[in-house]
């Protein structure tokens, strides 16, 4: 099974998976040249850019064995765009882009069958508000390393994103793909 995660997530995952038969790697997804029965991509697709969506899907298709499943977990937008939010790109996520449903389905067309598509976006503002609460609680310790400008910037980021999810401008999708179609009914719809 393969997961695509950030370096920080890899460090955390290694600690949580210690002693388990799991290998956590931090590497460029384009360097993968192995086969897997399951591929899970969490928070990665937003960082490959629209010009690489099809390249990403081609790579996953090549690495996924026949009968395997691919879970794509990504933030999504309601409308297609070819650029990211300028403020977020400058201060939070350089080179990030939020895909639309159309961009995802276009990139996966002819490669995968979409078996299941869940939207957790309506609940995600609560997650961002909890992160903001944790950030504010931790600020007395964090301010030893960061200035007020960072605090204002991070607060703006967390709360504006919470608002975007609450307003349903942003979505949080988990999409399960198969190569040839899952035999019978996919388990989540039985």
Task: Compute the distance between CA of residue 36 and CA of residue 67 in angstroms, rounded to an integer.
Answer: 10
Contact between residue 121 and residue 162 where contact means Cβ atoms under 8 Å apart: no
Task: Compute the distance between CA of residue 165 and CA of residue 120 in angstroms, rounded to an integer.
Answer: 10
Task: Compute the distance between CA of residue 86 and CA of residue 78 in angstroms, rounded to an integer.
Answer: 18
Task: Compute the distance between CA of residue 7 and CA of residue 31 in angstroms, rounded to an integer.
Answer: 16
Residue entry with tokens 């969506």 = 53
Task: Compute the distance between CA of residue 151 and CA of residue 138 in angstroms, rounded to an integer.
Answer: 11
3-state secondary structure of 76: strand
Q: Which residues 6+ apart lie within 8 Å of 88 measured at CB?
A: 96, 157
Query: Which positions are annotated as active-site residues?
Result: 161
Task: Compute the distance between CA of residue 39 and CA of residue 25 in angstroms, rounded to an integer.
Answer: 13
């Amino acid at each position: 099974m393969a997961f695509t995660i950030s370096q920080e997530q890899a460090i955390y995952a290694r600690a949580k998976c210690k002693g388990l038969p799991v290998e956590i790697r931090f590497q460029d997804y384009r360097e993968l040249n192995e086969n897997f029965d399951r591929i899970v991509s969490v928070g990665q697709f937003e960082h490959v850019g629209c010009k690489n969506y099809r390249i990403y899907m081609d790579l996953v298709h090549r690495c996924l064995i026949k009968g395997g499943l691919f879970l794509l977990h990504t933030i999504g937008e309601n409308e297609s765009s070819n650029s990211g939010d300028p403020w977020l790109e400058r201060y939070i996520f350089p080179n990030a882009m939020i895909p639309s449903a159309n961009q995802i389905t276009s990139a996966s067309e002819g490669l995968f069958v979409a078996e299941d598509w869940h939207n957790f976006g309506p609940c995600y503002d609560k997650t961002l508000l909890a992160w903001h609460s944790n950030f504010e609680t931790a600020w007395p310790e964090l301010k030893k390393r960061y200035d007020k400008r960072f605090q204002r910037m991070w607060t703006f980021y967390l709360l504006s994103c919470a608002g975007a999810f609450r307003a349903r401008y942003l979505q949080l999708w988990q999409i399960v793909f198969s190569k040839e179609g899952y035999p019978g009914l996919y388990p989540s719809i039985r």
